[in-house]
Structure 1
């Protein structure tokens, strides 16, 4: 399958590391012009430099903006006013007991993980529908379906993304714009790798051993029996953004290594 996104502009939120960066690389490889976003100027600049070295003929814009705020979203829209492809990837999570999570922590996480995608979709999708072509992808998580007891706030935001994506797909049905969710499982993203490195150091074991321990104790239903790579997650996202995926919309696509035990 030859995926060609030449002439398309893609906005990938939270794309200076991890899954977001892998998606940006995949979209650029397919020929798309890519807007990189992050909260830190040094990381945005470093990512732009790396991408330009990988793809000398590629077109890239870097936008430093905190998309957990309306002001940050406005800055993104000012510098990148239009897009054919929107990947709502920015987000974070943390392990914390439910009874220790305060009100502000709930709302702060919702602003970043959910409102960022709401604001971006509200801005970019109308022009997509006017043109009769567009792709919107929400990067959710298997935690949206298999709720972890130590990350209930995170899981809530990821489930909210599924509802948002499905509702938006309904709203733009028949316009040529598709809206889907992609649900990664345990992945060697920056955040997860950081957690595993810390766990390995604390226990005096290797990071690989820490990852295997996590799979066995926290995700025992995994069929992959390892963490996915960010590229493996990105591969599915790139397909969903392609012309070939024109018949796929309003759905949730898992790249979770079989963690969620369901056939639908």
Structure 2
């Protein structure tokens, strides 16, 4: 299937590792002109090199900017005035008891997970509407539906992303611009891998045992009983970014390994 992405300019935020990097790689493989983003130039350069190593002919560049701040977003859009595909993937998480989540914690995670996508979409949307084609994606989580007790502030930001995506889609009635959110399940990304490794060390078990325990206790509703790979998630994001996904908009698409107990 030709996804119709050749020559499209795609920005993937937070794409120096994990789901973002896998998505950038997938879009590059489809012929898109991909822009990688991360907070440091070193990490951005490493990600660009990794993509080019896998796809030597890929058109991929990078912009270092901290998108959790308005200043960082301004710096990025100044360097990249146009995009056709915007993947709002950048985000942070931190397991923390509710009583210990400070005002600063709430504000910081909201700035990173919600406002980064809000600011970027607000900037690029007029151009997408004018050209009557575009794809905007918010990489959310099953935590938007099943708020995790161990990090309530994270879950709230993931719910907010779904609401923002649906609301923006409502403003684009009858256009060729789609806006969707992707509800991702537990994924073996860089951050999760570190978390599992630390927990395994703390419990005195290997990582495979820790993973099994995680799905027995923390996410028992999972149907695949394992962490998803970043590529499995990226495959859905790349499809939703494509010409072929033209009738899917205003939707929250689940790639969660069946962890959300719902038929809709």
Unaligned runs of 5+ in 1: none
Aligned-CA RMSD value: 0.8
Helix, strand or coil for the counterpart of 1:62?
strand
Helix, strand or coil for the counterpart of 2:56?
coil
Please report how far the alpha carbon of residue 52 of structure 1 lies from its aligned counterpart in structure 2 after TM superposition.
1.9
Deviations 1:104-144 (A, max 9, x none): 11001000000000000001111111111000000000000
Match of 1:173 in 2: 173
1:152-231 aligned at under 5 Å gives the runs 152-231=152-231
Match of 2:108 in 1: 108
Helix, strand or coil for the counterpart of 2:125?
helix
Match of 2:136 in 1: 136
Deviations 1:142-173 (A, max 9, x none): 00000111110000000000000000000112
Q: Distance in 1 between matches of 2:207 and 2:4?
A: 37
Please report how far the alpha carbon of residue 201 of structure 1 lies from its aligned counterpart in structure 2 after TM superposition.
1.4
Deviations 1:176-216 (A, max 9, x none): 00000001110001111110011111222221211111111
Q: Distance in 1 between matches of 2:142 and 2:125?
A: 26
Please report how far the alpha carbon of residue 3 of structure 1 lies from its aligned counterpart in structure 2 after TM superposition.
2.1
Match of 1:119 in 2: 119
| Contact 2:18/2:230, CA 8 A, preserved across alignment | yes
TM-score w.r.t. length of structure 1: 0.98
Unaligned runs of 5+ in 2: none
Moved more, 249-258 or 47-56: 47-56
Q: Distance in 2 between matches of 1:223 and 1:231?
A: 18
Match of 2:247 in 1: 247
| Contact 2:4/2:244, CA 8 A, preserved across alignment | no
Please report how far the alpha carbon of residue 4 of structure 1 lies from its aligned counterpart in structure 2 after TM superposition.
3.4
Q: Distance in 1 between matches of 2:185 and 2:50?
A: 27
Runs of 4+, deviation exceeding 6 Å = none
Q: Distance in 2 between matches of 1:135 and 1:4?
A: 12
| Contact 2:89/2:138, CA 8 A, preserved across alignment | yes
Helix, strand or coil for the counterpart of 1:35?
strand
Match of 1:27 in 2: 27
